[in-house]
Amino acid sequence: MKVTVRFFALYRQLVGTAETSVEVPAGATLSQLWEQVQGLFTGLRGYPLMAAVNGEQCDGTTPLSGGDEVAFLPPFSGGRR
């Protein structure tokens, strides 16, 4: 099945694109997708998994469905340090 993957801020810079489509095995979890994406874009290796599926923040055990939109979120840095 296919899922849409979106990258923000640092991640967009590291991978060089804001959005891509990834083919994952049926029943894949968010963690499995993250590992697969880190394999495709090695610049993401070492970063913790933080992501939203269809706009909702989810943890790694979340199972994916075809057509899901997955947003990978770099560590936050809003506000002032």
Partner 1 sequence: MIELTHQPLSPQALVDQVQSGRAGAVVTFVGVVRGESEGRQVLYLEYEAFEPLAREKLHELAVEMKARYGVDEVAVAHRLGRAEVGEVITVIAVASAHRREAFEACQFGIEQLKARVPIWKKEVFKDGEHWVGA
Residues in contact with partner 1 by CB under 8 A are 8-10, 13, 47, 52, 55-57, 71, 73-81
Comparing CB distances to partner 1, the nearer of 7 and 28 is: 7
The least distance separating partner 1 from the CB of residue 75, rounded to whole angstroms, comes to 5
The least distance separating partner 1 from the CB of residue 74, rounded to whole angstroms, comes to 5
State the burial class of residue 67 (Cβ atoms within 10 Å of its Cβ: 0-12, 13-18, 19+): exposed
SS3 3: strand
Comparing CB distances to partner 1, the nearer of 1 and 38 is: 38
Comparing CB distances to partner 1, the nearer of 21 and 79 is: 79
The least distance separating partner 1 from the CB of residue 81, rounded to whole angstroms, comes to 7
Buried b (16+ CB within 10 A) or exposed e, 27-61: ebbbeebbebbbeebeebeebebbbebeeeebeee
